[in-house]
């Protein structure tokens, strides 16, 4: 993409898109205006291990149906896991239909560029996997105007908790979250206590605590951005191990 962007920018100017890219007005049906590009090749390799803390997106159930978000949408990682419907809007480069994607990465700003460029604030921008971009737009366009809306995340199976860290510091990656998808609060409880421990966001959807919980079965309370909470009791057995993935309840 980097080698093509000067050409793409000329196309964008020809479409007079640059004058409308900061328009974030909500349209009929709850759609909001934004713009979209793509990164990586069709294999999706560059989309793995992004700023949300997810790892192999195929193994974790996200596949290629993913997007990186600009600062305005990323919200310091709070929207990691959120799901969006996106469709190309009002340009000759559009294909029909829409796509549904999960936020798994961050598209960083480039302050050497003008403020109305790509992922720079205050733009609402989707940097899609190439596979997703090509479903809604012609590859040569490079960048297109889109409309988008938040949608419920429909996931197969339960919420997943990957436990990392060491005996003195536990880091939990929460993924495969249904409902609104974006996790805002995680609590953990060991079986030797009735007290819930509020975890802090380390980065993306990785949550941490320095509580000593080795040898106890673990329960979790996960709250999403709509205020709904799901509790999963004794998800990890007392003999859980670092690197293990444990499945709990989910939003439906």
The structure tokens listed for 18 are 């640059």
Q: What is the pLDDT of residue 118?
A: 87
| 114, 133, 151 - which closes a domain | 151
Dump strand ranges (E) for the chain.
32-39, 66-69, 83-88, 99-106, 125-129, 144-151, 160-166, 169-175, 183-190, 197-198, 200-203, 206-209, 218-224, 229-236, 245-247
Do 21 and 105 share a structural domain?
yes
Q: Note if the pTM is more than 0.85.
A: yes
Do 137 and 88 share a structural domain?
yes
| 101, 125, 151 - which closes a domain | 151
Four-CA torsion 30, 153, 200, 248, nearest 10 degrees = 150
The closest alpha carbon to 240, from 217, 207, 210, belongs to 217
Question: 86 in a domain, yes or no?
Answer: yes
Q: What is the pLDDT of residue 186?
A: 99
CB 69 within 8 A of CB 125: yes
Do 34 and 131 share a structural domain?
yes
The closest alpha carbon to 245, from 159, 186, 168, belongs to 159
Do 119 and 167 share a structural domain?
no
The structure tokens listed for 148 are 């988008």
Backbone φ, ψ for residue 173 (5° rounding):
-90, 125
List the pLDDT tens digit at each of the 252 positions of the chain.
433 333 333 333 333 333 334 344 444 569 999 999 999 999 999 999 999 999 999 999 999 999 999 999 999 999 999 999 999 998 899 998 999 999 999 999 998 877 777 899 999 999 999 999 999 999 999 999 999 999 999 999 999 999 999 999 999 999 999 999 999 999 999 999 999 999 999 999 999 999 999 999 999 999 999 999 999 999 999 999 999 999 999 998
Whether the bond between 122 and the residue before it is cis, its omega within 30 degrees of 0, is yes
Do 138 and 92 share a structural domain?
yes
Domain CATH number, residue 79: 2.40.40.10
Question: 252 in a domain, yes or no?
Answer: no
Residue 225 is part of which domain span?
160-247
Do 185 and 123 share a structural domain?
no
Do 23 and 76 share a structural domain?
yes
């Amino acid at each position: 993409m980097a080698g093509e962007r000067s050409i793409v920018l000329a196309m964008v100017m020809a479409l007079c898109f640059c004058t409308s890219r900061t328009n974030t007005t909500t349209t009929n049906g709850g759609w909001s205006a934004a713009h979209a590009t793509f990164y990586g090749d069709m294999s999706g390799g560059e989309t793995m291990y992004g700023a949300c803390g997810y790892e192999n997106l195929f193994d974790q159930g996200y596949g290629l149906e993913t997007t990186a978000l600009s600062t305005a949408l990323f919200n310091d990682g709070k929207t990691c896991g959120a799901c969006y419907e996106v469709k190309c809007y009002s340009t000759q480069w559009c294909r029909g239909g829409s796509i549904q994607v999960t936020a798994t990465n961050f598209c960083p700003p480039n302050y050497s560029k003008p403020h109305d460029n790509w992922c720079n604030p205050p733009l609402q921008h989707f940097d899609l996997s190439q596979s997703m971009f090509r479903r809604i737009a012609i590859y040569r366009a490079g960048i297109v105007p889109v409309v988008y809306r938040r949608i419920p995340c429909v996931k197969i199976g339960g919420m997943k908790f990957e436990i990392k860290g060491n005996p003195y510091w536990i880091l939990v990656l929460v993924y495969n979250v249904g409902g609104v998808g974006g996790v805002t609060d995680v609590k953990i409880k060991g079986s030797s206590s009735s007290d819930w421990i509020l975890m802090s966001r380390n980065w993306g959807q990785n949550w941490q605590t320095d509580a000593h919980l080795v040898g106890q079965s673990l329960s979790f309370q996960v709250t999403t951005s709509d205020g709904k909470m799901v509790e999963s009791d004794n998800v990890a057995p007392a003999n859980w191990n670092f690197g293990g993935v444990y499945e709990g309840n989910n939003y439906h």
